Amino acid sequence: MSSALHGLLLFSALWTLSLCGTRQFHVVKEGKNWTEAQKYCREKFTDLATIENQEEMDAVNATLNGTADNFWIGLRQKPGENNKSWIWSDGSNFSYSDWYPKEPNNNGSDNCVQLYREYGYRWNDAGCHHPGSFVCYEIPLILIKQNKTWREALRYCREKHVDLVSVHTEDIQHQVKIISQNASTANVWMGLRHTCTLSFWFWVSGEFICYQNWAPGNGTEDEDCSERERTGAVQSGSKQWVSLTETQKLNFICSTISEALWTLSLCGTRQFHVEEVNKTWIEAQKYCRENFTDLVTIENQEEMDAVKAAVNGTTGNFWIGLRQKPGETNRSWIWSDGSNFSYSYWKHGEPNNDGSDNCVHVYSEYEYRWNDANCNWTNPFVCYEEIPLILIKQNMTWREALRYCREKHVDLVSVHTEDIQHQVEFVTKGASTANVWLGLRHTCTLSFWFWVSGESICYQNWAPGNGTEEEDCREGERTGAVQSGSKQWVSLPETQKLSFICSTT
């Protein structure tokens, strides 16, 4: 059996979700009035589009670019008020706006809001009865108003949807907050579980905990396990997390699409694979290199917690990628992929310096702490896989590079986080050009940058003087590249011929 921890970053060709939030936007080109559009969105998705920041506005604009229509969004005047007090269809408070100059114009009957094509899709108040196209949004969560124990809720979600929800970021927490407002119980189950054996919390989908939102006095490592394992819920009121016994019967939240398609682990870029096949250390290394990247490298406590969560509940010992440097007798350690050895998690008294114990496994009898062992012993093992990027050392224009990546791989790379930027920096070391194309493009019409995969820009790494909205468009649309030297991003005309980076999955 092989299981994968979702400490992974999947690329945007697989999904249309803005990485600045958890909303997925859907454009519907049907002529409906605002109320009809709201009804349609609530039946098919989550609601008419809520737009809470410039990044989400840019994401919607990128989707609409070149479309000759006006589009309803979920903003309308609060019913019964005549002072133009606005609220979003899903109940979110109104704070961000992108009105066209002199809008809203306070016409008494213009109580709903459109993205107005003639104004570059900026906002215009309009009569709710007018027919128009519209933008819906969707979050991959569903509240189940049935009272079940934590295990019953887990089984229900996995049979009828995907899993109990995992909350990895503040954005997902925000969506949990919105959806849990309608719960009929004071707390709502999430996919959060504590292991008394190893004394830490983890998500049942396999991820370790990066973002946290515990209520005071909850989420400690010193849980009361006298009754049984502890499980996590979100409070319907405060929206903070609490530790509860799994036998309570509560409402719960399921994720409705694979989390690999919509969650972004903020803790690292490695994907871990547990292989429950007995092999020597050398055989395990060979297997991992042929099928993934290498035997697992563990560089910090978060990654160690992720490995522990992956192997939790299995008996036995698991090889990791640490071994003594060949030809050295002073117990100088190195990782299989060549990484320097800095972080460690040894069992007390280990390594015990037995001359033949030159490799390392995580030892189930000692809470998966590390033990040096004979490399010829056979154990299961843990592999890791890096973000799938490939540097193409062919000099092409930006459009040619885009076509090449989409035909032979997946897409020109989108750099959404600092972790992906680190991977880009690594692969650009072998570049033959001073700059290397990314999947970054500017629209002169709307004056903003976006990733060609559809996402807006959250993380940024522009070189000074680049990435401003005042781009020189006389030679055509501008496109983005990463400098081989500084690794910062630069704005270039698309006709230059450069190496480029493709995402491969």
Whether residue 114 is found in the same domain as residue 160: no
Give the model confidence (pLDDT) of 268-321 as tens digits. 446 678 888 999 999 999 999 988 889 999 988 778 877 887 777 677 899 999
pLDDT at 145 over 60: yes
Point out the domain boundary residue: 233, 261, 289: 261
* 38, 88 contact by CB (below 8 A): no
Whether residue 118 is found in the same domain as residue 66: yes
How many domains would you assign to the chain? 4
Whether residue 418 is found in the same domain as residue 480: yes
Q: State which amino acid sits at residue 155.
A: R
Domain-embedded: residue 7: no
pLDDT at 17 over 90: no
Give the model confidence (pLDDT) of 171-181 as tens digits. 788 888 878 88
What confidence category does residue 79 fall into, taking pLDDT thresholds of 50, 70 and 90?
A: confident
Whether residue 330 is found in the same domain as residue 376: yes
Give the model confidence (pLDDT) of 24-52 as tens digits. 788 999 999 999 999 998 888 888 999 98
User: Averaged over 465-476, what is the pLDDT?
Assistant: 81
Domain-embedded: residue 198: yes
What confidence category does residue 10 fall into, taking pLDDT thresholds of 50, 70 and 90?
A: very low
Point out the domain boundary residue: 100, 117, 138: 138
Identify the domain containing residue 88 by its residue range: 23-138
Whether residue 380 is found in the same domain as residue 324: yes
Whether residue 158 is found in the same domain as residue 255: yes
Whether residue 356 is found in the same domain as residue 290: yes
Per-residue pLDDT, 197:
66
Per-residue pLDDT, 436:
96
- Residue bearing the bigger pLDDT, 479 or 82: 479
Whether residue 406 is found in the same domain as residue 455: yes
- Average model confidence (pLDDT) for the chain? 82
Residue 53's CATH number = 3.10.100.10
Whether residue 208 is found in the same domain as residue 291: no
Domain-embedded: residue 42: yes
Q: State how far the alpha carbon of 149 is from the alpha carbons of 119, 178, 194, 244, 396, in Å.
A: 52, 22, 15, 11, 57
Domain-embedded: residue 453: yes
Domain-embedded: residue 18: no
Domain-embedded: residue 1: no
pLDDT at 267 over 60: no
* 397, 282 contact by CB (below 8 A): no
Whether residue 28 is found in the same domain as residue 94: yes
Give the model confidence (pLDDT) of 377-398 as tens digits. 999 999 987 667 888 888 999 9
CA gap 197, 188 in Å, rounded? 25
Domain-embedded: residue 12: no
Domain-embedded: residue 306: yes
Per-residue pLDDT, 16:
28
What confidence category does residue 67 fall into, taking pLDDT thresholds of 50, 70 and 90?
A: confident
What confidence category does residue 64 fall into, taking pLDDT thresholds of 50, 70 and 90?
A: confident
User: Residue 451, by phi and psi: left (phi above 0), alpha (psi -120 to 50) or beta?
Assistant: beta
What confidence category does residue 207 fall into, taking pLDDT thresholds of 50, 70 and 90?
A: low
Return the closest-CA partner of residue 369 out of 328, 311, 325: 311
Point out the domain boundary residue: 83, 108, 138: 138
Return the closest-CA partner of residue 84 out of 92, 74, 94: 94
Whether residue 404 is found in the same domain as residue 351: no
Whether residue 45 is found in the same domain as residue 84: yes
